[in-house]
Amino acid sequence: MKKSIIYTRTGDDGTTSLVGGVRVPKTHMRLEAYGTVDELNAQIGCLISLMEDGTDKSLLQFVQHKLFALGSYLATDISQTKQCAGSDITDEHVKRLEQAIDELDATLPPLRAFVLPGGAFAASVCHVCRTVCRRAERRILALESAEEKCEISKNMKQFVNRLSDYLFILSRKLNQLTQHDEIYWDKSCK
Which domains occur in the chain, in start order?
A: 23-75+92-100+114-179 (1.20.1200.10)
CB 137 within 8 A of CB 160: yes
Averaged over 69-81, what is the pLDDT? Answer: 81
| Buried b or exposed e, range 92-106, using 16+ CB within 10 angstroms | ebbebbeebbeebbe
Split at pLDDT 50, 70, 90, the class of 151 is confident
How many Å apart are CA 33 and CA 49, to the nearest integer? 25
Average pLDDT over residues 63-90: 83
> In terms of pLDDT, which residue wins out, 16 or 55?
55
Question: pTM score, two decimals?
Answer: 0.89
Alpha carbon of 175 to those of 2, 97, 164, 167: distances in Å?
Answer: 47, 20, 17, 12
Share of the chain above pLDDT 70, in %: 88
Q: Tell me the backbone φ, ψ of residue 117, rounded to 5 degrees.
A: -60, 135
Distance from the first to the final alpha carbon of the chain: 65
Distance CA 151, CA 57 (A): 31
Q: What is the rounded distance in angstroms from the CA atom of residue 176 to the CA atom of residue 34?
A: 33
pLDDT at 170 over 90: yes
Flag whether pLDDT at 73 surpasses 80.
yes
Q: How far apart are CA 92 and CA 18, in angstroms?
A: 28
Least confident residue range of 4-13, 22-31, 135-144: 4-13
- Short-list 104, 120, 112, CA closest to 168: 104
Q: Is the pLDDT of residue 172 over 80?
A: yes
